[in-house]
């Protein structure tokens, strides 16, 4: 461990995420990042296999994003968004509306994925209130799902298998059922809607991949089925693309693989290329128009202090520049092919239940992982930053990772899992 004063004096005052502080191993001290490499304080280098919690899609410290951030920092790092607007936010909103499908055209900015989902929930509930349907205020979500750690979003995460089951009974109860991915679950889903649609306002789902719920995949047909069911029962469809958006599954947005348009979509994580905190909740025209009225109480009363932060919006615009100028989706396809080949040998290792790949997501599912933190430490000793959770070991690398770096990560997984 380092002897730096900042580490020794600061660590006793930090409360780390997703960690039992009594037993958690000491966190690694990062000094700098570049591309897919994290350099630690002692000079060791780790190849990052998770792209800073799925955000750094262009790799760390991309020169174009850095240059745009530096220019915006010198010009205007922040200004309030209440009663004022600015070029980075408006340009970004127009660009998002242009690349999202259909008439997803009204962008509400926040500063984290959880809050973006909270705003989507709030929009969906007030949409009914404004339309004179106050009885339709519950949301329907799915087992295995994860939508954030704030109080309202915990209510639409998996209530039993998820990390928030301790809060059961505290939050307003929402409906959480099996995702309709086969004939049996589709029949149960239809029966549920027949009985309860009159009390529901919206369906909420992570498209194609339930990320923090275990990197569980479903096919585009499931999304098409949900869109059709929502239309039949007069429900809004909210897609949580916070993880899947911006190329992670192989298309710019996961919903494009099903050729559907959600009524509301949430975006974050890779929105700024892993540089700044920013999120967006984007609504279709008919959702937005339900809030237009001479009655001020029908307005959406929400406004984070740092919403539409100019510095973050400048980084997001720079990230979109890179998607336009550089072959990111082709890189994702190359990563998918390499992951499929490199991780397949894990299938024969003891304790491995499944190996699966979608876009730039590679998953080795185990029967169980007794101590994910200990396994993370073993990967770090191999020179790989890989963060297992639940019963999975996974890779979500930067799209710019080199073939050699990706092979290094896959080899580390094979070695560590083989040793048990």
Q: 3-state DSSP helix/strand/coil percent for the chain, to nearest 5? A: 40, 20, 40
Dihedral of CA atoms 313, 318, 322, 325 in degrees, nearest 10, equals 120
Active site residue 288: no
Please state, in angstroms and as integers, the Cα–Cα distance from residue 225 to each residue in 232, 251, 395, following that order: 11, 19, 29
Active site residue 146: yes
Active site residue 127: no
305 appears as a binding residue in the annotation: yes
109 appears as a binding residue in the annotation: no
122 appears as a binding residue in the annotation: no
**Pairing verdict, β 45-48 and 384-385:** parallel
Beta-bridge mates of residue 40: 30
Length of the chain: 420
C-alpha distance across the termini of the chain, in Å: 25
303 appears as a binding residue in the annotation: yes
Burial class (CB in 10 A: 0-12, 13-18, 19+), 58: buried
Q: Are 418 and 388 in contact (CB under 8 A)?
A: no
113 appears as a binding residue in the annotation: yes
Active site residue 269: yes
Give dist(CA 183, CA 358) in Å, integer.
23
Other C-beta atoms closer than 10 Å to the C-beta of 70 total: 12
Give dist(CA 29, CA 337) in Å, integer.
33
Give dist(CA 58, CA 65) in Å, integer.
9
How big is the CA angle at 135 (ends 130 and 140), to the nearest 5 degrees? 100
15 appears as a binding residue in the annotation: no
Catalytic residue (one of 48, 158, 269, 394): 269
DSSP string computed for 346-370: GGGSTTEEEEEEETTEEEEEES--S
Catalytic residue (one of 146, 158, 263, 394): 146
114 appears as a binding residue in the annotation: yes
Catalytic residue (one of 48, 111, 158, 240): 240
Dihedral of CA atoms 27, 29, 34, 37 in degrees, nearest 10, equals -50
240 appears as a binding residue in the annotation: yes
For the chain, how many helices (H) and strands (E)? 13, 16
Phi, psi of 395 (to 5 degrees): -125, 130
Q: Which residues contact 96 (CB under 8 A, 6 or more apart)?
A: 104, 107, 267, 280, 282
> Catalytic amino acids?
18, 146, 240, 269
- Please state the residue numbers annotated as binding site for substrate: 53, 146, 269, 303, 387
- Please state the residue numbers annotated as binding site: 53, 113-114, 146, 240, 269, 303-305, 387
- Please state the residue numbers annotated as binding site for pyridoxal 5'-phosphate: 113-114, 240, 304-305
């Amino acid at each position: 461990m380092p002897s730096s004063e900042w580490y020794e004096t600061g660590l006793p005052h930090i409360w780390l995420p997703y960690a039992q502080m009594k037993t958690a191993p000491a966190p690694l001290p990062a000094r700098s990042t570049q591309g897919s490499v994290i350099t630690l304080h002692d000079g060791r280098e780790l190849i990052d296999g998770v792209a800073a919690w799925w955000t750094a899609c262009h790799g760390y410290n991309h020169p174009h994003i850095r240059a745009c951030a530096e220019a915006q920092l010198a010009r205007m790092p922040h200004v309030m968004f209440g009663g004022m607007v600015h070029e980075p936010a408006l340009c970004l909103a127009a660009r998002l509306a242009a690349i999202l499908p259909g008439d997803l055209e009204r962008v509400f900015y926040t500063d984290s994925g959880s809050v973006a989902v909270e705003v989507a929930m709030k929009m969906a509930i007030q949409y009914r209130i404004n339309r004179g349907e106050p009885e339709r205020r519950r949301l329907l979500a799915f087992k295995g799902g994860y939508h954030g750690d704030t109080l309202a979003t915990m209510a639409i995460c998996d209530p039993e298998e998820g990390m928030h089951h301790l809060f059961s009974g505290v939050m307003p109860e929402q409906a959480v059922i099996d995702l309709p991915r086969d004939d049996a679950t589709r029949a149960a889903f239809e029966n549920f809607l027949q009985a309860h649609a009159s009390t529901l306002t919206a369906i909420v789902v992570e498209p194609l991949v339930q990320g923090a719920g275990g990197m569980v995949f479903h096919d585009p047909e499931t999304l098409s089925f949900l869109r059709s069911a929502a239309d039949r029962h007069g429900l809004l469809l909210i897609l949580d693309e916070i993880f899947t958006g911006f190329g992670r599954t192989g298309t710019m947005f996961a919903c494009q693989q099903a050729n559907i348009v959600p009524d509301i979509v949430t975006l974050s994580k890779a929105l700024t290329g892993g540089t700044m905190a920013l999120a967006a909740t984007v609504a279709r025209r008919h959702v937005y128009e339900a809030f237009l009225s001479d009655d001020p109480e029908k307005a959406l009363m929400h406004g984070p202090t740092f919403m539409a932060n100019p510095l973050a919006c400048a980084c997001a615009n720079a990230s979109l520049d890179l998607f336009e100028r550089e072959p990111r989706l082709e890189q994702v396809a190359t990563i998918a092919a390499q992951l499929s080949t490199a991780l397949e040998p894990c299938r024969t290792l003891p304790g491995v239940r499944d190996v699966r790949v979608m876009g730039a997501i590679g998953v080795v599912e185990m029967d169980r992982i007794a101590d994910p933190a200990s396994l993370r430490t073993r990967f770090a000793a191999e020179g790989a930053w890989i963060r297992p959770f639940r019963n999975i070991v996974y890779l979500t690398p930067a799209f710019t990772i080199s073939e050699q770096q990706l092979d290094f990560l896959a080899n580390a997984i094979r070695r560590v899992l083989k040793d048990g």
